[in-house]
Structure 1
Amino acid sequence: MLQYILKRLLLMLPTLFGVLLVSFVVIQFVPGGPVEQMVYQLKGRGAAESAGNTSAGTGAYQAARGLSDEQLTQIKTQYGFDKPAPERFWLMLKSYVSFDLGESWFRHASVVDLIREKLPVSMSLGISSLLLTYLIAVPLGVAKAVRHGSRFDWVTTFGLLVAYAIPSFVLGVVLLVLFGGGSFWQLFPLRGLTSDGWESLSMAGKVMDYVWHLVLPVTAMVVGGFASLTFLTKNSFLEEINKQYVTTARAKGATEQRIFWRHILRNAALPLVVGLPEAIIGAFFTGSLLIETLFSLDGLGLLSYESVLRRDYPVVLGTLYFFTLIGLLGKLLSDLAYVLLDPRVQFGRVGEGQ
């Protein structure tokens, strides 16, 4: 087991290197980088000054026409583009080894501080949606497996397919119109995670206010997300129900409850539990851009989107490195959970012909 863990940890290194290398190379060819944006900004400022004051002198006209080589060199040095691309990539890797993710060019804060600032919003959405998804999907999937082929199974399947087909963003708009004071009822807040005067509320009041703000965005995320988990649960339990050992247990006179709790549940729940560590990590660190934008939630999804638009490369590459590392660790934890839950799996024997 220890040998397998060490191998997986070592395999993370080329994976991280490949992700960063491809992203860094792509960034070099993306137009409208920070240098170009600063040049356009200075040109526009100079043009506005020269248009507003015709006697401004040669400085305004110089800015309106273009920038000098010295000014361009200063801008490139400011953003680190005075060095060749291989050197910049090497310096980035050296800083990432010590988890120094750099500093944002436009927000004037370290990438680590930005992630720490935006993380609570994404965690609130992710953890709440994950809990609701499992609490709804797993019991529903078990009920569908037990009642396979019944009217309940067909009706719920149709409902799940409809829910799966509705994009979360569209559902969020519908929920805002219906329950956010659009054209019908104003039952839930439109934006944010807290109300005005939240600091003056009691602890119970703060919790209730926070949960009240989460209802609409979490609902929009959950409705289209638990269909796949429900079908996975149903298929997993249905496969175990139809196996020979269940028929044998029934022939020996075992009750249905005993068969379900002692035999079926342990084997059928294996795929669900194995994917739980990765799902939990994803819930902690994954932001939903569309939901955060729609409900004015300043989380990781909105941070990543704005960083791409503004070509804030330290934030783009730093968050990509961090999330890739977290995702690889989640995969490793899922594999380890599989070994702990199923003793038939022995990673140490892989490659030995057994």
Structure 2
Amino acid sequence: MNIWAYIFKRVLLMIPTLLGVVAITFAVIQFVPGGPVEQAIMELRKGAATGGGEASGGGASQYRGRQGIDPERVKEIQALYGFDKPPLARFWQMLKGFARFDLGQSFYHHMDVWQLVKSKLPVSISIGLWTFFITYLISVPLGIAKAVREGSRFDAVTSMLVLIGYSIPGFVLGVLLLVLFGGGSFLQWFPLRGLTSDDWDTLSVGGKILDYLWHITLPVTASVAGSFAVMTMLTKNTFLEEIRKQYVLTARAKGLDERRVLYKHVFRNALIPLVTGFPAAFIGAFFAGSLLIETLFSLDGLGLLSYESVIRRDYPVVMGTLYLFTLIGLVVKLLGDLCYVWADPRVQFESLSR
């Protein structure tokens, strides 16, 4: 099986997977109480309870407190949100929109879901991109150094440090950083909220860069601390596994320099698990924004958007982002498999397709 046949087969398999995820989520949503229609009715009842109801003929009130709403008004609300149609009709209409990459309109924000996602991306990209690169740039060299110096004091001390960082939740570290350096009880070195200052437009190019880095330091530090342990220990264990193999002993027996053995023979094979996970980690860093980190530092990103959409029952945003992120996840999984073959030519497409 050549590469193009494999890619074509995987793309065909993505279609039922994507449809299954969307269909199951849509079906679950139908049984979740407190949808947009119910929330709109609740708002009307609150207005009636505070005297906002209008009087109808005969002196009787159109709204009777919290006892109910005019059926005609309920039908209008259902039509407004599209709930006047059967579930299958709404599901089919949603799929036709997704096929055109039309993710729908947000009930709460009153704007296109795709435009809404793009408006939140700068925050998620800022946190995710810096977290991703800092994690890889520190963890991979550190893991190699720990593998080479296994059992040494350096190995023990660094293991303790990365595990301590892993054990501290990101939002707890964020609170600590704000208290220490964000104008809490001690120093006021960094801002409390946002990615930029209010006078961003008046700054020079260099000033904008410094202002951006100044704002992003604490959120990225809180986000990245827990990422070091997994990547560092994975790198170390992978290198140790390769170092103990027969071909390394043979290379050393031939009198090859230790540095050449490490970086020419061991390095490529040991990096295979890291390379294959690279696409997923890179894309996941953008879309796996931490709700607590964003809330703590007042950053309006995708994490906060997802949470608010579920709480407010903003179904177009829930379904649209689910469809988008699932599609991206399937494509990234395919790229990960292709990276695996690129990193290790011994792997064949026939074995990957099983």
Q: Give TM class, smaller chain.
A: over 0.9
Q: Deviations over 1:136-169 (max 9, x none)?
A: 1111100110011111111211222211111111
1:50–1:61 Cα contact (<8 Å) kept? no
Retained in 1: the 8 A contact 2:54–2:62? no
SS across alignment from 1:193: coil
2:167 corresponds to which residue?
165
Q: 1:282 corresponds to which residue?
A: 284
- Give 3-state SS (helix, strand or coil) of 1:248's partner: helix
> 1:24 corresponds to which residue?
26
Counterpart pick for 2:269 among 260, 267, 270: 267
Comparing 222-231 and 342-351, the one that deviates more: 342-351
1:5 aligned residue: 7
Query: 2:174, 2:296 within 8 Å by CA — same for their partners in 1?
Result: yes
CA distance 1:172–1:351, shift in 2 (3 Å): closer
Match of 2:180 in 1: 178
**Matched residue, 2:301:** 299
**What are the ranges of 5 or more consecutive residues in structure 1 without an aligned counterpart?**
none
CA shift for structure 1 position 23: 0.9
- Partners of 1:85 and 1:217 in 2: how far apart? 42
- Worse-superposed segment, 10-19 or 35-44: 10-19
Aligned partner letter, 1:122: S
Deviations 1:71-112 (A, max 9, x none): 111111111111111111111111111110000011110001
Show the counterpart of 1:102: 104
| Cα contact 2:291–2:307 (8 A) shared by 1 | yes
8 Å Cα contact 2:129-2:285 kept in structure 1 = yes
Q: Once the two structures are superposed, what CA deviation does each residue of 1:114-140 show, in whole Å capped at 9, x if it has no partner?
A: 011111110011000001000111111
| Native 8 Å contact 1:275 1:334 kept in 2 | yes
Of 213, 220, 223, which residue of structure 1 is paired with 2:222? Answer: 220
Q: Map of 1:1-354 to 2, 5 A cutoff?
A: 1-49=3-51, 58-59=60-61, 61-62=63-64, 65-348=67-350
Superposed displacement of residue 285, structure 1? 2.8
Return closer, same or farther for 1:44/1:151 CA change in 2, 3 Å cut-off: same
Deviations 1:282-318 (A, max 9, x none): 1233322111111000111111111111100000110
Matched to 1:41, the amino acid is E
State, as a whole percentage, how many aligned pairs show the same letter: 62
Shift of 1:60: 5.6
Following the alignment from structure 1 to structure 2, what is the Cα–Cα distance between the partners of residues 226 and 15? 32
Q: What is the aligned length?
A: 350
Contact (CA 8 Å) 1:42, 1:63: kept in 2 or not?
no
Q: Do the aligned partners of residues 349 and 139 (structure 1) sit closer, same or farther apart at CA in structure 2, a change above 3 Å counting?
A: closer
Conserved in 1, the CA contact under 8 Å of 2:103 and 2:320? yes
Distance, in Å, in 2 between the alignment partners of 1:332 and 1:224 is 27
CA pair 16-273 structure 1, distance change in 2 beyond 3 A: same
Partner Cα distance (1:229, 1:264) in 2: 18
User: Contact conserved, 1:104 with 1:314, CA < 8 A, in 2?
Assistant: yes
Give RMSD over aligned pairs: 1.9
Q: Shift of the alpha carbon at 1:349?
A: 5.5
- Note the alpha carbon deviations across 1:233-273, whole angstroms, 9 max, x for none: 00111111111111111111111111112101111111111
Q: Distance in 1 between matches of 2:191 and 2:84?
A: 48
> Is residue 62–residue 70 contact of structure 2 (8 Å, CA) maintained in 1?
no
Note if contact 1:105-1:314 (Cα within 8 Å) is conserved in structure 2: yes
Alpha-carbon distance between aligned partners in 1 of 2:246 and 2:351, rounded to the nearest angstrom: 28
Taking the aligned partners of 1:182 and 1:136, their CA distance within structure 2 comes to: 29
Unpaired runs of 5+ in structure 2? none
Give, in whole Å, the separation in 1 of the partners of 2:80 and 2:155.
62
Q: Report SS of the residue matched to 1:83.
A: coil
Residue 66 of structure 1: how far off its partner (Å) = 2.2
